Amino acid sequence: MSPMPTSLSESRAAPVRVDSRKEEVLSAEVRLLYANANVALGVTILAATVLGLLQRRTVPNPVVVGWWLYMVLVSVSRTALAWRYRFAVPECLETRKWLTSFTVGAGLAGVGWGGAGIILYPENHLTNQVLLVFVVGGMMLGAVSLLAPRPEAFLAFLIPAGVGPAFRLGIQGGGNHLVMGLLAAVFTLATLIMTRRIHRTIDSSLCLQFENRDLLANLQTEIVERREAEQALRELSGRLLQAQDQERRRLARELHDGTSQTLNVMQLCAWRLQNLILPDGSTAQVTLFELLNLIDRCGSEIRTLSHLLHPPFLEVAGLGAAIRAYAEGFGERSGIAVTCDFPSDLPRFSPEVETALFRVTQEAVANVHRHSGSKTAHIRATVAGERIRLEIKDQGHGIPAGVLGSPSKLGVGIRGMTERLRLLSGELSIESNERGTTVRAELPTTAPVAEHLPKVEIA
């Protein structure tokens, strides 16, 4: 039992599509008919002229001339119709009207050739009889491929063209003529069957062509929609990363200007309180001393956290100075010897580029500490033309091949690095084996993609 349509619009959609497809196929078949018209008309005039010249010795000349003029008039009329169709405005084409006109013209031509089998039939000249049947049969075979696009057209031509000679041979009398008439009828029937099969092939091919066209159009639409979705996702990722950087900058500023200053005041108050407690070595003195150490440690950690969130060197001194300062502090905290190799004339880049490369350095060096087991790391930057390359190498045990070959198994940090660089038309590559890992970031020295992203303000 077939499912019921979920809505009235859905119940009407399929018939509408079917009717539309039928109209498209019909229009294409009519175009094929008119595209072949010039060839058919030229052959008609040539064959009519040759047949008239051959039959004029056995058939009265007025009959031959009258028949020939009829065929020329029909051919000229069909030619004029074909030219009108060719120059008609496509939006104004009335397919069924043009099909009817073409069918009438084909029928008139078929009547002409069928009439030739009767009025140009020489009763006492067997050779000319055979010639006449041969010419008419040849015109019928030629019409198969030219008129096959529409059954109306080939039926209108083939039936009168084939019945005329078969009828005339049948009434001639005599065994041979009856056999020839029967063969002419069988030939006409076989031609109709063959033409019908060719029409079905053309019809199926056109349906398949339009289905493929629609499928391609739908595929192109899906590709465009997917690209638009990817572009929207890329812009959203850019906004999120921008918002993240701004939030880091805000938190770093709050820690430095707010929390850090409060700790300084607490430290001053503790120093004053310590000076008010006179007995040296008392419990209060020891407690205050421990409090001062805790305050000093908190201040140091807050300064470190503030620098990690947003290093002031990055805006003031540039990428090279910021990475060197970060590497030095990271080495002190982690015990990993981090070396840097930067050109002495490393220029300043756009804020987007410097921020992206600094974040890549942070994540890559942090991964060295968390995963590689290496005691050393080397950071190298080179500039070639309008592109900058940053490499972070270690001598650890490397990333397992199964993890490196599957992006979904890589950590969020690596995917974040990849997305940052992709937004700036850059790329991230990772080479890893049992001797260590190399993270390589390369991107243009400008930020063409990031420029069009809307600014995100964090209150």
Residue whose tokens read 């005039």:
45
pTM comes to 0.56
Q: Is residue 14 classed exposed, middle or buried when 0-12, 13-18 and 19+ CB atoms within 10 A define those classes?
A: exposed
What is the CA angle 209-157-23, rounded to 5? 30
Q: Which amino acid is at 206?
A: L
Nearest to 143 by CA among 269, 43, 68, 213: 43
Q: How far apart are CA 296 and CA 306, in angstroms?
A: 15
Contact at 8 Å (CB) between 277 and 288? Answer: yes
- C-alpha–C-alpha distance, residues 433 and 396, integer Å: 9
What does the radius of gyration of the chain's CA atoms come to, in whole angstroms? 45
Residue 53 corresponds to which amino acid?
Answer: L
Indicate the angle between helix axes 37-55 and 61-86, nearest 10 degrees.
170
pLDDT at residue 229, rounded to an integer = 86
Give 1's DSSP letter. -
What count of residues does the chain have? 459
- Helix or strand (DSSP H, E) at 225: helix 175-254
> Going by C-beta distance under 8 Å and a sequence separation of 6 or more, which residues neighbour residue 28?
206, 209, 210
Across 222-249, b (16+ Cβ under 10 Å) vs e yields eeeeeeeeeeeeeeebbeebbeebeebb
Residues 6 or more apart whose Cβ sits within 8 Å of residue 270 = 288, 291, 292, 295
- Look at residues 187, 45, 58, 43 and name the one whose alpha carbon lies nearest to residue 132: 58
pLDDT of residue 232: 80
**What's the rounded Cα separation, in Å, for the pair 120 and 123?**
9
Q: Is 378 helix (H, G, I), strand (E, B) or coil?
A: strand
Beta bridge partners of 438: 393, 431
Rounded CA-CA distance 137/126 in Å is 16
User: 350: which residues sit within 8 A by CB, 6+ positions away?
Assistant: 445, 446, 447, 450
Element housing 394 (H / E) = strand 387-394
Q: Provide the greatest CA pair distance for the chain.
A: 155
- Measure the CA–CA gap between 133 and 282, rounded to whole angstroms: 136
Give the other-Cβ count within 10 Å of 402's Cβ: 8
Structure tokens at 317: 């001194």
Give phi and psi for 121, each to the nearest 5: -80, 120
Q: What are phi and psi of 69, to 5 degrees?
A: -65, -40
What is the residue whose two structure tokens read 């009817």?
100
Using CA atoms of 275, 278, 284, 288 in order, give the dihedral in degrees to the nearest 10.
20
Amino acid symbol at 359: R
Could you say which residues of the chain have pLDDT below 70?
Answer: 1-18, 89-93, 172-174, 238, 241, 252, 256-257, 277-282, 306-308, 310, 313, 405-411, 447-459
The H helix count followed by the E strand count for the chain is 14, 5
Nearest to 362 by CA among 432, 430, 308: 308
Kindly state the DSSP code that residue 259 receives in the 8-state scheme. I
Report d(CA 89, CA 86) in Å as an integer: 9
**The token pair that represents 431 in the structure block:** 């080479």
